[in-house]
């Protein structure tokens, strides 16, 4: 996976009783619809919990990360 580590704009659904679900994200002025969420995991950096999502837009695989402390989304990497 190619490391990107860029902040991105993400639309996500926060539904009661469910995990956060990214719906689309915008990276380098291009909007990618999430067609598949293939894996989810979380980890901690210090006392900050980070949520990781392996998502596909139908062509490529992306790893999105949601930082629960500052509520920012980062595109961690891309597998083309």
Partner 1 sequence: MEIERIILHIDMNAFFASVEQQSNPALRGKPIAVIGAAKRTIVTTCSYEARAFGVKTGMNSWEARQKCPELIFVVGNNRKYTYTSKQIINIMRDYTPLVEVSSIDEAFLDVTGCLSLFGSAQRIALLIKERIRKQLGLTCSVGIAPNKLLAKLASDMQKPDGLTVIETGKVRQVMERVPIQDLCGIGAKMQQHLAKFGIKTCGELGRFPVDILRRNFGVTGEKLHYMGLGMDHSPVIPDEEAEEVKSVGHSTTLESDIAERREILVYLLQLSEMVGRRARKYKVAGRTITLTVRYADFTTFSRQESRSSHTNNSEEIYQASVKILESLELTQAIRLLGVKISNLRHHNEQLPLFPAERKKALLACAMDDVNDKFGDFAVTFGSLLGKETGSKVISPAWRPEGVRNVDVD
**Hunting for tokens 């902040």 — which residue is that?**
7
Residue 78 interacting with partner 1 (CB under 8 A): no
Residue 13 interacting with partner 1 (CB under 8 A): no
Q: From residue 53, how far is each of 50, 60, 76 by CA, in Å?
A: 10, 14, 10
Residue 41 interacting with partner 1 (CB under 8 A): yes
Q: Binding partner 1 by CB under 8 A: which of 5, 18, 28, 47?
A: 47
Distance CA(33)–CA(20), nearest Å, equals: 15
Residues that bind partner 1 (CB under 8 A): 1, 36, 38-39, 41-47, 52, 54, 56, 61, 79
């Amino acid at each position: 996976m190619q490391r990107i580590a860029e902040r991105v704009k993400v639309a996500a659904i926060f539904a009661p009783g469910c995990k956060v679900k990214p719906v689309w994200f915008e990276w380098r002025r291009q909007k990618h619809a999430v067609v598949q969420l293939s894996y989810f995991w979380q980890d901690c950096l210090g006392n900050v919990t980070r949520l990781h999502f392996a998502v596909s837009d139908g062509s490529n695989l992306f790893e999105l990360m949601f930082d629960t402390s500052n509520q920012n989304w980062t595109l961690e990497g891309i597998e083309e």
